[in-house]
Structure 1
Amino acid sequence: MLSRLLTPLFRYFEERVSPYPEGEISTPPNGLLPFIWHFSRPVWPWLLVMSLLTALVSTAEVVFFGYMGELVDWLSSVDRTDFWGDNGLWLAGIGLAVILGLPLLVLMQSLVNHQTIFGNYPMIGRWLSHRHMLSQSLAFYQDEFAGRVSQKVMQTALAIRETVTKVMDLMVYAIVYFTGAAILLGRADPWLLLPLGLWLVGYLSIMRFFVPRLRDVSMAQADARAQMTGRVVDSYSNIQTIKLFADTEREQGYAKDAMEGFMVTVHRQMRLVTVMSVCLTLLNTLLLVGTAGMAISAWYMDVISLGVLAIAIALVMRIRFMSDWILWEVAGLFENIGTVQDGMNTIAQEPTIKDAPNAKALVVPSGEIVFEALRFQYAQAKGESKNVFDGLSLTIKPGEKIGLIGRSGAGKSTLANLLLRFYDLQGGRILIDGQNIAEVTQTSLRHQIGMVTQDTSLLHRSLRDNIRYGTPHASDDEVWQAVCRAHADSFINDLVDPKGRRGLDAHVGERGVKLSGGQRQRIAIARVLLKNAPILVLDEATSALDSEVEAAIQEQLDALMEGKTVIAIAHRLSTIAMLDRLIVVDEGRMVESGTHQELLAQNGIYAGLWKRQSGGFLGHDLEESELHDLDLDYNASM
């Protein structure tokens, strides 16, 4: 009932801060305080309100203790004859003020802390970090565990909240409370400040010794935890390979090695904690005994009243319990700072591929592609003398369909990746209809290119979402037409996931593991058919299909390629022999160019490959009459 009455109030404070701030994506600064400020700006005014309310709560507690001491002194001297008649109404008023005032103050503090800050604050960090990580280059994720990156995003956001709230809430509470207690004791008898002052020196010494060590071990622990999580996630992501090679023992050892590294940091942390707890208990016991002894002595000598004695002992007991809490919170603060610093090393990296200032959207009226004097080398190969490309030039006319042929490592897939600007060139340009792709937005560039790869990866979402991924506003009818054209309707209706979802609603598992390679490839082809981009890149697009299905889909691909500029990469030459032009690439250079018949006549690399394949790996990749004609052309050229 009470919760229902308070719901509008809860909702009001929950909506004071948006957990999903808009604006341009920016790289967080690489410095602890600027990094924290980057994620704290949207909630900063409410953090100040939180600190103010915390100061009021701690002041109210100290004032309450002081009042209780005065009450003890007053009660020790008041006449009991008509006590309630003379003082009942006044005492009832004070009691009512305390009963109403303190809970209302705590309610306001809780609404700001729990409704406005605690939920929204870390979500702001996750949202901004996730947006930034999605803008990272492909090369970044090739060097990182996906599980490790996600762990950093999640735990760093929480650590930022804990760091800031501990500083602004805990520190304010401790400082105000300790100052108020010192004023109360000092006003009664300055000597009562002596044990409190000595305790403070000892307390700060304990913090100075243990906290930095806890911070260092916490940083190591955060990194070890991320490494452990990354290895475990890597095992689950590649479970099929692990099962295929029956190497679970080795995989267990791989994970155990990371777990043991994590446990080393846990043991170091727990040893520090044990020693710190003993030192703090000894210090607090000395404070209690010292303050009680001095207070009793002062009362005995009639220097202080019985009320002050009660206040002194009560405040010291409160400080004793609070000091343990504060030290743990401070240790946690530095643990969170260590986590933030560790996460900052990953999250605050600048994307290597960024849109140029004032980049415009790519417009593709015809589809001409020009590779002009390309010079490129992968970052991990920097310092080696050999480039993947060193001056490669190639022009693809509007609507022309070319096939790229070459040995593994010759640079075929690299050329496609450069066209999509997954990497930046070290020299040269790539132009689409005269527009340098380095000067247009990456989003618009990739919207204009449809690509089917050999290693098709699907999102763990419904088949409908996967097919519609490049064309989110496509209707269900358009989705199903693409499915039929890709010959995926033969298996989609039979799919059922563990939650009972069927057909296009069925979820496909992480990376599409619930589908066979051929099924995944047909879904990828349906996605590209639906996208209908003016430039098409096919990187072994039908390699996972059997010849019968491939022949059926080829008709749809032929229709899809009509009027488009096409780059097709294939090892099975029969799948690309009928294209307008074939380009043979070797060691990053274009060594042969021409139609199938022209290349056979040159009797070079292509002719040798064709001869070894006997018209392709499978004799029925082409229609029998077409294959016969191509073989006749080859024989005539010899």
Structure 2
Amino acid sequence: MFAPLFRFLESRIDVFAPFDERQTPPTGVFRFMWHHIKGVKGWMALIMLTGLGFSGIEAAMYLMVGWFVDLLTKNSPEQVFSEHGWLLIGAALVVTVARPLIYFANHAIVDQVVVPQITNQIRWRNHVYTLGHALSYFQNDFAGRLSSRVIQAGQAIRGATIEVIDDLWYALIFASVAIGFFGSTSLWLAMPVIVWLAAYVALLIYFVPRAKKRSEANSLGRSSTTGRIVDAYTNILTVKLFARADAERSAVRDSLTRWNASFLNLSRLITGVSVILQTMNSLLVVATAWLCLHLWSQGEMTPGAVAASIGLVLRLVQMSSWLIHLVRGIFENIGSVQESMETIAKPHDLPDAPDAVPLQVTQGGVRFEHVRFNYGKPQGLFENLDLEIKPGEKIGLVGPSGAGKSTLVNLLLRLYPLDSGRILVDGQDIAHVTQESLRSQIGMVTQDNSLLHRSIGDNIAYGRTGATQDEIAAAAKRAAAHDFVLGLSDQDGRQGFDSRVGERGVKLSGGQRQRIAIARVLLKDAPILILDEATSALDSEVEAEIQAQLSTLMEGKTVIAIAHRLSTIAALDRLIVLDKGRIVDMGSHDELVRRGGLYARLWARQSGGFLALADSERIPA
């Protein structure tokens, strides 16, 4: 019956509504919260209004009880029905019709319109914004901590907002009605409640800051322990290879000990405050009951007013414990919002330029002009580096570890900003094209090919949106992966291309992961190809099989290959020799060996001699 109404309400807020994902969220907790909820301020106002209506009726019901008791004590049954029947019917309609309708309206808006949608909208927008951060942002933090902050932001912002405008509003209205009623009866009757409220506010002033501080320490303990556990699970192979299980257990035990201490510190505060509050509550009930009895004995209160007064006080006492924990929860949520804000609301280090346009690759030429880059250190890795790679040329980057080979291709991918100079692709400065379009035109196989925890087919299809099953299988065959993929299965019974690979592809061997990664790039079929130790994890037989496929893949493309095993790139058109960020030599394999420089020494160290390559063995441009 209610399904159509629920579907209508649930579609009022679009979780994935477009927004400016480049806009940095504001800093400052309340500005950060407002940034995320300002789009639903109308719904928030409705929550407040319906909450006002419901809390007003709730408080009025206690007054109705007093009126009803007096009605029965002062009138005969005949008079009750004849003289007050319509009032009784009206009161009944308020309780049975108006109260449920307002309650439904309030909860429908909260539970169907706002809570699920706004919570996930906040998560979605923070996730999208976080994805826009530069690579260094993710390298400097735990993945688990980042994802936790993105997830908790939605819940914390929604929780703090709803609790303030709905629950606190409810308590405020109830307390106001109680004081107003007591004051209209007798100022003496209002005094215990006023004193109790003053003491309650003082208790909150004492409790909340301390609870917030201790809750933050508890939250930090939780985050630290979670990070330590996730770090151990993520690197479980290293833990086992180095027999460090005892050390990891000890580290987690220490972290849990600190977390437990902070939790106990918070619990001690809560217990102490709860005891004080219950003592205050008991004194309020006794004081109110004694005053009611005294005023009744003096003829200044009716039995109905006594019943209403005690009922209101009992309700206030019942609400007080809930309210103090509600206030603590609000401040805990605000603390969680602050944690998330400090992690998320940072400007993107490497945004697209305001005038960025999609990259158009027609030939695939690449040019580095006066490039300077230093990873933020005083001494530059690259100082005024110049390099031109002609369209369709196949070059190899050679040099000792730390020479700058991988850094050079990372700069081409615009994973880091240049200090000065520029990089051009077909004459277009990559600083003025969109990063998505730049990387879509470059295929790359790295030496560390971690896979997504999805199916084999999904991992290969990551190379091209909308790829068919036949295209995925063809790419796997070209990467010499098809046969072993068909023999795979996972714990849920999925087989072949549907089987899951485990987190980061841990269920596959290094060589299998590399072949899947190569298949992914084969499917992408980008005009510029980067091979960073592309066959480093393969045995010689499989490497020879894939090298033949790579030769076909490289035809008509601009290729940059990095390899410490020089035999894998010796047949390329040109080799660029790097040392400490400088180009110290370049030429073909034969030319570099004859010149007897750094390349020749590296070659001699690896092969023990010279391997001549016939012209027919060279890969065509």
Same-fold status (TM-score > 0.5): yes
Question: Which segment is superposed worse, 345-354 or 81-90?
Answer: 81-90
Q: In the alignment, which residue of structure 2 is the partner of 1:178?
A: 175
The question of whether the paired residues in 2 share the 8 Å contact of 1:615 and 1:631 is answered with no
State, as a whole percentage, how many aligned pairs show the same letter.
Answer: 48
1:532 aligns with 2:525: yes
2:458 to 451, 460, 465: 465
Q: Show structure 1 runs of 4+ deviating over 6 A.
A: none
> Normalising to structure 1: TM-score of the pair?
0.93
- The offset of 1:255, in angstroms, is 2.1
Give the structure 2 partner of residue 17 of structure 1: 13
2-side partners of 1:457 and 1:355: how far apart? 27
Q: Quick one: which of 164, 172, 185 aligns to 2:161?
A: 164
Equivalent position to 2:245, from 248, 253, 270: 248
The aligned runs of 1:171-320 (5 Å cut-off) are: 171-320=168-317
Q: What whole-Å deviation, never above 9, does each CA across 1:376-433 have from its counterpart, x for those lacking one? A: 1224xxxx54222122111111111110111111111111111111110111111111
1:135 maps onto 2:132 in alignment: yes
TM-score when normalising by structure 2: 0.96
1:335 aligns with: 332
Query: 5 Å matches for 1:4-83?
Result: 5-25=1-21, 26-80=23-77
Query: Do the aligned residues in 2 keep the contact of 1:54 with 1:173 (CA within 8 Å)?
Result: yes
Alignment pair present for 1:91 and 2:74: no
Is the contact between residue 371 and residue 431 of structure 1 (CA under 8 Å) also seen in structure 2?
A: yes
3-state DSSP of counterpart to 1:164: helix
Q: Which moved more, 1:47-56 or 1:263-272?
A: 263-272
* Pair 1:594-2:587 in alignment: yes
Whether contact under 8 Å (2:590, 2:612) holds in the other structure is no
**Matched residue type, 1:318:** R
| Cα displacement string for residues 448-489 of structure 1 (whole angstroms, at most 9, x for unaligned residues) | 100000110100111111111120122222111111110101
CA distance, structure 1, for counterparts of residue 204 and residue 437 of structure 2: 54
Tell which deviates more after alignment, 289-298 or 253-262. 253-262
- Following superposition, the deviation at residue 628 of structure 1 comes to 4.6
Alpha-carbon contact 1:573-1:615 (below 8 Å) kept: no
* TM-superposed deviation, 1:54: 0.7
1:517 aligns with 2:507: no
Residue 500 (structure 1) aligned with residue 493 (structure 2)? yes
Q: 1:129 to 1:230 in 2, by over 3 A?
A: same
Quote the offset at 1:261 in angstroms: 2.6
Correspondence for 2:381:
388
Identify the residue that residue 552 of structure 1 maps to in structure 2. Answer: 545
Cα RMSD between the aligned structures?
Answer: 1.8
Partner of 1:629: 612
How far apart are residue 529 of structure 1 and its match? 0.7
Q: Describe the shift of the 1:89–1:23 C-alpha distance in structure 2 as closer, same or farther (beyond 3 A).
A: closer
Counterpart residue number, 2:619: none
Greater shift in the superposed pair: 403-412 or 10-19: 10-19
Q: How many angstroms does 1:151 deviate by?
A: 1.1
Checking the alignment, whether the CA contact within 8 Å between 1:222 and 1:338 is kept in structure 2 is no
For 1:483, give the aligned amino acid.
A
Q: Which residue of 2 aligns with 1:120?
A: 117
**Which amino acid is 2:44 matched to?**
L
Distance 1:407 1:243 in 2: 31
State the Cα deviation string for residues 561-604 of structure 1 (Å, max 9, x = none).
11111110000111001111111111111111111111112111
CA deviation digits over 1:63-119, x for unaligned, max 9? Answer: 221122122122111024565566567635532442222122211111111111221
Give the C-alpha shift of residue 350 in structure 1. 1.7
1:574 partner letter? S
Change in CA separation of 1:322 and 1:8 when aligned onto 2, cut-off 3 Å: same
Q: Take 1:39 and 1:256, find their aligned partners in 2: how far apart are those partners? A: 38
Task: Name structure 2 gaps, 5 residues minimum.
Answer: 616-621
State whether residues 368 and 399 of structure 1, in contact with CA within 8 Å, keep that contact through their aligned partners in structure 2. yes
**In 2: Cα distance, 1:126 partner to 1:13 partner:** 20
* Separation in structure 2 between the aligned mates of residue 281 and residue 83 of structure 1, nearest angstrom: 40
- Name which of structure 1's ranges 154-163 and 78-87 shifts more when overlaid on structure 2: 78-87
Return 199-208 or 302-311, whichever deviates more.
302-311
Match of 1:569 in 2: 562
Does the C-alpha gap of structure 1 residues 601 and 628 become closer, same or farther in structure 2, counting only changes over 3 Å? closer
Task: Please list every run of 5 or more consecutive structure 1 residues that lacks an aligned counterpart in the other structure.
Answer: 617-626, 633-638
Aligned match of 2:146: 149
Offset of residue 196 of structure 1: 1.1
Partner of 1:580: 573
CA distance in 2, matches of 1:629, 1:305: 114
Q: Would the aligned equivalents of 2:364 and 2:558 in 1 still touch at CA under 8 Å?
A: yes
Looking at structure 2, the residues matched to 27 and 497 of structure 1 have their Cα atoms a distance apart, in angstroms, of: 42
> Does residue 1:606 correspond to 2:599, yes or no?
yes
Aligned match of 1:620? none
CA contact (8 A) 1:222 1:342 kept: no
Q: SS where residue 175 of structure 1 aligns?
A: helix
- Distance (whole Å) between structure 1 residues aligned to residue 36 and residue 57 of structure 2: 32
